[in-house]
Amino acid sequence: MQFTPELRMSRILNGLWQVSGAHGPIDRSRAVESMVDYLDAGFITWDLADHYGPAEDFIGEFRRKLVASRGPAALSEVQAFTKWVPRPGTVTRKMVDDSIAVSLRRMDVETLDLLQFHWWDYDDRSYLDALTYLAQLQNEGKIAHIGLTNFDTEHLKRIGDHGIKVVSNQVQYSLIDRRPEVQMAEFCQDSGVHLLTYGTLCGGLLSEKYLGQPQPMGSALDTASLSKYAQVIGAWGGWDLFQQLLVTLKQVGDKHGVSVSNVAVRSILDRPAVAGVIIGARLGVSDHREKNARVFEFTLDDGDREQIEAVLQDSRDLYQVIGDCGDEYRR
């Protein structure tokens, strides 16, 4: 899709949180080789961060591998969206310059396609200083576009009122966590801000693998994603209701000849303001590229959506439980 007038992206983004160390070991050479396979399958957009272990280094190695094997023109098809997540406190222009210089070097780029900014403490208004300096680097050509990560609606508005143009906000959004539908999506649609969503498959729990299975606990939750989203499901309505949702998604998927995960992703891709869904890539470990591509082979109809909604209406409202998007990171 056309993310900005200058930049096209794939609507399924390859998430690199999985290389941070919290999801098991990753073989570096196999991982970079796998990235080429993602590109050839049409998954051309990567989501990462400065603190996701070697993720930015992987992008740099991947880019150099492409140039060596296919020439510099091959890089025009690749986008890498990174993040800067500073500690709260006073922010200087030098701090911003130094941090962005590290990402540019690690990723082996002259300009960052999208720099997504996260801030831990709203009471510390230094985030406005940081964004002002990022906008200056954008004017200098070091950053093409500025986005946000886990900002709530109120502070997204405040940033816009401060005169800083952001093109996206990355938020948790799934059939389990529909908090963006309360305020965020409408505001983003009205203001031209895209939503990039994560947690859309609840770390893999929204899949056939867990249909009809007992609630995973302890060692069965063997990745950071599974542990996190098991807690989200508990707050949302619990494992029994989640099983009802999986049964319904299976019925809808069977109707269209696709998987539970396909239906879960398609449901969010179709929501207002959503530009793309981030799906974690276990590089060199597992491969779901062909299955993920099937998201674009079908369309949900009104009957499908009503069937899914009939289950969701029995769940708790996570906006009331947690708050707006990203509030769980600022307690």
Domains (range + CATH), the chain: 2-204+268-299 (3.20.20.100)
* Cβ proximity of 262 and 253 under 8 Å: yes
Is residue 247 within 8 Å of residue 211, measured between CB atoms?
Answer: yes
Written as one letter, the residue type at 273 is: A
Q: Tell which residue, 18, 75, 320, has the closest CA to residue 182.
A: 320
- Kindly state the tokens that stand for 313: 């209406």
Q: What is the mean pLDDT of residues 278-287?
A: 75
Instruction: Quote the DSSP letter at residue 70.
Output: H
CB 107 within 8 A of CB 56: yes
In the prediction, which pLDDT does 23 show? 57
Rounded percentage of the chain residues whose pLDDT exceeds 90: 88
Band of residue 284 on the pLDDT scale cut at 50, 70, 90:
low
Tokens 């389990």 correspond to 176
Least confident of 24-33, 59-68, 314-323: 24-33
Average pLDDT, integer, range 151-178: 98
18 in the Ramachandran plot: left (φ > 0), alpha (ψ -120 to 50) or beta? alpha
Which residue in the block uniquely carries the two structure tokens 């989203």? 229
What mean pLDDT is reported for the chain? Answer: 94
Asked whether the beta carbons of 250 and 211 are under 8 A apart, the reply is: yes
Q: Tell me the pLDDT tens digit for each residue of 221-235.
A: 988 889 999 999 999
* Confidence class for position 276, pLDDT limits 50, 70, 90: very high
Q: How confident is the model at residue 281 (pLDDT cuts 50, 70, 90)?
A: confident
Name the amino acid, one letter, at 200.
Answer: T
Mean pLDDT of 156-178: 97
CA-closest candidate to residue 133, choices 164, 160, 169, 102: 164
The helix-helix angle for 302-312 and 239-256 (nearest 10°) equals 170
- Grouping H, G, I as helix, E, B as strand and the rest as coil, residue 50 is coil
CA gap 281, 6 in Å, rounded: 26
Which pLDDT tens digit goes with each residue over 175-193?
999 999 999 999 999 999 9
pLDDT recorded at residue 288: 80
Note the pTM of the prediction, 2 decimals. Answer: 0.95
pLDDT given at position 26: 72
Digit-coded pLDDT (tens) for 69-98: 999 999 999 999 999 999 989 999 999 999
Give the pLDDT of residue 24.
Answer: 62
Query: Residues 146-181, buried b or exposed e (16+ Cβ, 10 A)?
Result: bbbbbbbbebbebbeeeebebbbbbbbbbbbbbbbe
pLDDT at 18: 79
Residue 324: HSE in the Cβ half-sphere, 13 Å Cα cutoff: 15
Distances in Å between the alpha carbon of 51 and those of 99, 121, 150, 302, 325?
11, 18, 16, 41, 21
pLDDT tens readout for residues 234-258: 999 999 999 999 999 999 999 999 9
Among 44, 39, 56, smallest CA distance to 7 is for 44
Find the mean pLDDT for residues 23-28: 70
* Dihedral over Cα of 140, 88, 16, 181: its sign: negative
Asked if residues 257 and 197 have their Cβ atoms less than 8 Å apart, the reply is no
Q: Which residues contact 97 (CB under 8 A, 6 or more apart)?
A: 133, 137
In 3-state terms the chain splits into helix, strand, coil percentages (rounded to 5) of 50, 15, 35
